[in-house]
Amino acid sequence: MNHYAFYLANTLLHAYPDGSLWYPSKRILCVSDLHLGKSERIARRGGILLPPYETRETLWRLEKAVAAIDPAKVICLGDSFDDLDAAKSASDETRTTLARLQTGREWVWIEGNHDPGPLDLGLGLGGSHREEFKSDPLTFRHIAQASAQDVVVGEISGHYHPKAAILGTRHRPCFLLDKARLIMPAFGTYTGGMSARQAVLANLMSTDTLAILTGKYAIPIPLAACTIR
Amino acid sequence: MEMNTLPPKFEDWFTTKGWSIHPHQVEMLARADAPSLLLIAPTGGGKTLAGFLPTLVELANDAHKGLHTLYVSPLKALAADIKRNLGTPITEMSLPIRVEDRTGDTSYTQKRRQRADPPHILLTTPESLALLISYEDAPKIFAGLRRVIVDEIHALAESKRGDQLMLALSRLQTLAPGLRRVGLSATVEDPDAIAHGMAAHPDPCPILLAHPGPNPDISMLVTTQRPPWSGGGAKYSIPAVLDLVNKHKTTLIFHNTRAQAEIYFHNLWLANDGGLPIGIHHGSLSRDQRAKVEAAMVRGDLRAIVCTGSLDLGIDWGNVDLVIQIGAPKNVKRLIQRIGRANHHYNVPSKAVLVPANRFEVVECVAALEAAKENDLDGDPKGAGPRDVLCQHILIVACSAPFDPTELFNEIRTVGAFSNLSRTAFDNCLDFCATGGYALRAYDQWKRLRELNSKWQLRDPRSAARIRMNLGTIYDIETLKVKFRRSAKSLGEVEEAFAATLTPGDTFLIGGQIVRYEALNQLTVEVSRNKGTTPKVATFFGTKFSTSTQLSQRILRMFQEDHWPDLPDHTSEWLQMQRRVSKLPEAGRILVETFPQNGRENMVVYSFAGINANRTLGLILTQRMEAAGLNPLGFVVTDYALMIWGLTAVTNMEPLFDPDNMRDGLETWLQGNAVMKRSFRMAATIAGLIERNTRGGRKSGRQATFSSDILYDTLAKYDPDHLMLQITYEEAMRGLVDFGRVEELLHRTKGRVDHVTLKRVTPLAAPLFLEPGCIPIFGDGRERLLQDRAAELMAEAGLANL
């Protein structure tokens, strides 16, 4: 199998090589940090002008992931849109694709720091908007709670776009997993990343954290063995 | 016409100097009215004076007002040098002529004044000229222009700078219709090609050949100490080279890369017990430092200068009587031109010594010596005019004034390199300038031109400043300044990729001294002094020259001789050993050796196609190996061979070297390749898609690289026919990738691949293991290794059963 199966809070989960998370017993598919409309936002704010295709690209990959597994529920773990303007000005194509994906299943938009407002009602993007989502014993929220000590066991979050590598390989997006929590990689195209060995992530995770690399296969390695960048 | 003979005043001057005028100088004067004229003369043949003589004569009567002659040279230093040299006849004959230079180093006030009140003779570079023609007052500045002299045109013709210059000349020709063009060139293999590129098409361009002078005296340095197996340092040669410096007045010590020059200079000083004054000069040093060395050289204070291509061209540095070339010259033409730097006196043979840096270069040097003796010059034919330069030119023209597209098209077609440009190709470039191209038309920033009353003009006149800021076709590898902490003085520059590898405490060489890396502060590398003798980080990167095809063929022919009396013993023994355990490569065939080493299966391909073509061949072979499940992991290339290593041994060579369907899959394979990304970065920068300089300052290389890489990726994915990608592909195929050579090689050697299976590494293959710069293959082999390694790490951490 190309995915990596593990237990968090005694719950079986699958980390997929495309960066999505599968919760088999509840048939939930979770993706984080889609950052739809990113090139449009960067251009709007005076940065580099990228051809505005990455939204389509991200949605294509999401469609593929959804089609492969047919989930009952999809959770988008925050920063689904690069900002609220990007959500407001989502193209017809984006809206149609989302509507198609939402047909026959539940769809949850968790709010993120980039898209704090409600996406469901006012913006007509379907689904339901939540600050966080609990599915006992798991909690889905955008940003992990402050420190490794007071974490609720079973927290699943995104936000940091972790990446990791071992000596001699290139950095790739990864999941970070310890006994208490899971931090997910960004699913969106062009979303960059933060080295998993950086202090801000190291402070969140315990010392025996696993990095699950994405790519062709989901490959688990001890975070301590990853290169520091 | 009386103007075309030497006036008495000039004759008297020549007499008082005790000089006699060279025949080609007389000839240049006699043919001063020719619309275009190309002079080919060896260095030291009074080439520059030959070019300027008609100007001096025409200006002697004080009748001309404003700019008369524009002199363009590839080097800023050359412009300064010419200014000095012209000063002598002008002062001594009291000619009423004002000469000024205008380069990137000229002050802002000086430049402004020059536009309002141009001198009679303006000395400049192609980039400064491009900037000049972008100004609104260009028609006024150039209205009276009579002559343009392009110096060292052979050097310019090899690069896009030449294309940009010729486009600028087409503009000047329109502004000053009577303009006459003169090109000055060193000895080249194909003068007709240069003449074709220089004249206003379809004007003819007659070629004037000066007497080539006596044959140079070239030899190879043979030391008792053996050259090493690989590397470019040539440290072994230091005592012998110091000895040579001692025996000559002034020696130029040429290197192929800046990094090699730095290391050699450092080692020279460590051994320089006699305290000989030796300086260093290369393009990464700060302007101050270069100027200091140049001044010391002119005064005759230096006994030797360690240098690179930055001193390649015809600057007159006084009494150079010996040229030493460290490392194989890679290209016979360049060797001859470098040798020409010794003895700037007509009719005295130049003296040069070649120093091979490693065992294989001994062979290369001997081959180059033979070629130089036979004056067998090499070179690669140049393709059609590059469209990225054309895009930049269109923007430059638009900065100056609104233009009529048909008039501009016709003007551009007068440039030799663009004489076959189709209207469609031109319109595509114009469209790119106007909209940014299909995928990018959503953005306003790239809509830079608009049509108004059937003329094209800048959409926003303020964008002229941005366009001007990003002019030029020299694509420097991104560099960072190196400074001591709390010091304003720059020591020089290092490549950004090199800076990224440094950690505080690392020591490296710059400007001949060892410094300690402290920190990266914005765009500056902060260093401190270090007393050590051995730098920890050996080198920073540099351009690698590719050995010319002709030279490679010569080497292969040498291999087939029974014995090698011209080679030193250590080298001929090495080749004999190779012949015993395996084979020596042959022309018209490809030798392949396979053997296991260090737990990997290695395959060495002796293709002798040059480093760029070998890199491409490596990509093609590894792609085919990946498809065949042979798990290649990476490869390394030199000029003569490439070595691929992987998890599975290769047994069947035929399908790997099949010349058919080479392009299949190569495009997708190349797409993700760093070479393509680099080509794209260059083309997109030249065409104005990527701006390196902004009002807020220069973008850091990493920023720019990141942006250009994602831009490339998106365009490649969604708009693969975008003009920038067409240009990228074209360039990559030709220059960096040298696809033509690979295609030709595989067709020529079809069915003639000799496969030798061995138990261990061979003498000829051994140096490849020491070669830096491995190109990794990110395929299934690497993925499998990663999994294996991850499993090991999990086991080590006691997590194997998780």
Q: What is the pLDDT of residue B591?
A: 95
Choice between B355 and B549, residue whose per-residue pLDDT is larger: B355
Q: Which amino acid is at B86?
A: L
More confident residue, B53 or A203: B53
Give exposure, B391-428, as e/b (b: 16+ Cβ within 10 Å).
bbbbbbbbbbebbebeebbebbbbbbbbbebeeebbeb
Same domain, B128 and B246: no
Structural domain contains residue B683? yes
The answer to whether B524 and B532 have CB atoms below 8 angstroms apart is no
pLDDT digits (tens, 9 = 90+) for B61-85: 878 889 999 999 987 777 878 888 8
Q: Which of A40-44, A132-136, B337-341, B791-795 has the least mean pLDDT?
A: B337-341
Q: What is the mean pLDDT of residues B418-422?
A: 94
Q: Are strands B632-637 and B641-646 parallel, antiparallel or unpaired?
A: antiparallel
Q: Are residues B21 and B149 in the same domain?
A: yes
Picking from B135-149, B501-515, B589-603, which range would have the lowest pLDDT averaged per residue? B501-515
By residue range, what is the domain housing residue B83?
Answer: 2-209
Q: How far apart are CA B172 and CA B69, in angstroms?
A: 12
At B439, the pLDDT band (50, 70, 90 cuts) reads low
- The predicted pLDDT at position B342 comes to 64
Same domain assignment for residues B303 and B413: no
User: CA of B513: how far to CAs of B260, B309, B484, B587, B740, in Å?
Assistant: 14, 21, 12, 44, 42
Comparing alpha-carbon positions, the chain A residue that sits nearest to B802 is: A6
Note the residue count of chain B.
802
Q: Give buried/exposed letters for B329-339 (b at 16+ CB in 10 A, else e).
A: bbbbbbbbbbb
- Can you tell me the distance from the alpha carbon of A72 to that of B23, in angstroms, rounded to the nearest whole number? 92
Q: Which of B560, B584, B587 has the alpha carbon at shortest distance from B574?
A: B584
pLDDT, mean over chain B: 83
CA–CA gap between residue B554 and residue A53 (Å, rounded): 52
∠ CA A183-A188-A189 to the nearest 5 degrees? Answer: 130
Chain B residues touching residue A60 (CB < 8 angstroms): none
From the list A6, A190, A221, which residue is nearest B794 (CB)?
A221
For residue B85, give both structure tokens.
């040299």
Residue B82's pLDDT is: 87
Residue B610 lies inside a defined structural domain of this protein: no
Residue B401 to chain A, least CA–CA distance (Å)? 27
Rounded distance between C-alpha atoms, residue A180 and residue A9, angstroms: 7
Best of A6, A35, A42, A49 to substitute, by most chain B Cβ atoms within 10 angstroms, is A49
Per the structure, the count of domains in chain A is 1
> In terms of domains, do B120 and B261 share one?
no
Residues B232, B279 within the same domain: yes
Domain boundary among B696, B716, B733: B733
* pLDDT tens profile A164-191: 988 767 789 999 999 999 999 999 887 7
Judge: B793–A221 Cβ closer than 8 Å, yes or no.
Answer: yes
Helices (H) and strands (E) in chain B, counts: 29, 28
Q: Judge contact between B36 and B200, C-beta under 8 A.
A: yes
When CB atoms are compared, the residue of A48, A51, A222 closest to B793 is A222
Lowest mean pLDDT among B104-108, B182-186, B647-651: B104-108
Which residue's entry shows tokens 């990997």?
B600
Within a domain: residue B411? Answer: yes
Nearest to B408 by CA among B436, B383, B433: B433
Nearest to B237 by CA among B248, B227, B250, B252: B227
In this prediction, residue B442 carries a pLDDT of 65
Query: From the CA of B521, how many Å to the nearest CA of chain A?
Result: 18
Could you tell me if B236 and B151 lie in one domain?
no
Q: Comparing A85-89, B347-351, B540-544, which segment has the lowest mean pLDDT?
A: B540-544
- Whether B184 and chain A come into contact, CB under 8 Å, resolves to no
Mutate: best of B793, B799, B801, partner A, most A CBs <10 A: B793
Residue B6 has pLDDT above 70, yes or no: yes
Q: Which pair of structure tokens corresponds to residue B218?
A: 């070239």
User: Is B406 among the domain residues?
Assistant: yes
B291 vs B356, which has greater pLDDT?
Answer: B356
CA A164 – CA A202 distance, rounded (Å): 12
pLDDT in tens, B583-634: 999 988 999 999 998 888 999 999 988 877 888 888 889 888 988 889 998 8
Task: Please answer yes or no on whether B782 and A210 come within 8 Å at the CB atom.
Answer: no
Which amino acid appears at position B269 of this protein? W
Supply the range of the domain harboring residue A186: 4-225
The domain total for chain B is 4
List all residues 6 or more positions away from B268 whose beta carbon is below 8 Å from its beta carbon.
B238, B241, B242, B253, B278, B304, B306
What does the pLDDT average to over B429-454?
Answer: 81
Please check whether residue B802 touches A, CB under 8 A: yes
Chain A touched by B442 (CB under 8 Å): yes
Question: Are B202 and B235 in a shared domain?
Answer: no
Domain boundary pick from B498, B529, B560? B529
Considering the domain architecture, whether residues B121 and B27 belong to the same structural domain is answered as yes
CATH code assigned at A93: 3.60.21
* Closest CA relative to residue B362, chosen from B397, B313, B401, B327: B327
User: How far is Cα B436 from Cα B427, in angstroms, rounded to an integer?
Assistant: 13
Tell me whether B717 touches chain A (CB under 8 Å).
Answer: yes
Q: Indicate whether B350 belongs to any domain.
A: yes
pLDDT at B457 over 50: yes
C-alpha distances out from residue A165 to A210, B540, B782, B798, Å: 12, 25, 13, 20
The winner for highest mean pLDDT among B73-87, B89-103, B628-642, B664-678 is B89-103
Residue of higher predicted confidence among B443 and A9: A9
Please name which of B145, B198, B196, B192 lies closest in space to residue B170, comparing C-alpha atoms.
Answer: B198
- Say how far apart CA B404 and CA A100 lie, in whole Å: 50
Task: Give the nearest chain B residue to A5 (CA atoms).
Answer: B802
Task: Quickly list DSSP for B75-143.
Answer: -HHHHHHHHHHHHHHHHHTT----EEEESTTS-HHHHHHHHHS--SEEEE-HHHHHHHHTSTTHHHHHT
Instruction: Decide if B594 is inside a domain.
Output: no
> Are residues B707 and A48, on separate chains, in Cβ contact within 8 Å?
yes
Mutate which: B448, B694, B710, vs A, most A CBs within 10 A? B710
A-chain CB neighbours of B783 within 8 Å are: 215-217
Q: What's the pLDDT score for residue B540?
A: 43
Contact A221 B790 (CB under 8 A): yes
Residue B694 reports pLDDT greater than 60: yes
CA angle A38, A39, A41 (to 5 degrees): 65
Check which CATH number belongs to the domain holding B204 and give it. 3.40.50.300
Q: Which residue bears the tokens 């000039």?
A: B10
Q: Which residue of B has its CA nearest to A47?
A: B707
B132 in the same domain as B33: yes
Q: Residues of A near B (CB-CB distance < 8 A)?
A: 6, 43, 48-54, 57, 166, 169-170, 190, 208, 210, 213, 215-217, 219-222, 224-225
Which pair of tokens denotes residue B166?
């010729």
- Which one is predicted more confidently, B107 or B396? B396
Q: Looking at the predicted structure, is the pLDDT value of residue B477 above 90?
A: no
**B648 lies in a domain?**
no
Nearest-CA distance B592 → chain A (Å):
28
Residue B652 has pLDDT above 70, yes or no: yes
| pLDDT (mean) for B517-529 | 77
For residues B259 and B183, membership in a common domain is answered with: no
State whether B73 and B221 are in the same domain: no
- Tell me what pLDDT residue B801 has: 54
Average pLDDT, integer, range B534-543: 49
Of residues A211 and B739, more confidently modeled: A211
Q: What is the pLDDT of residue A176?
A: 96
Q: How confident is the model at residue B539 (pLDDT cuts 50, 70, 90)?
A: very low
What parts of chain A have a pLDDT lower than 70?
A: 1, 46-52, 120-122, 147-151, 168, 229
3-state secondary structure of B518: strand
The reply to whether B522 and B445 lie within a common domain is no
* B796 is a domain residue: no
Q: Is the pLDDT of residue B773 over 70?
A: no
**Each residue's pLDDT tens digit, B189-239:** 788 889 999 999 888 899 998 887 777 788 898 888 888 877 667 888 999
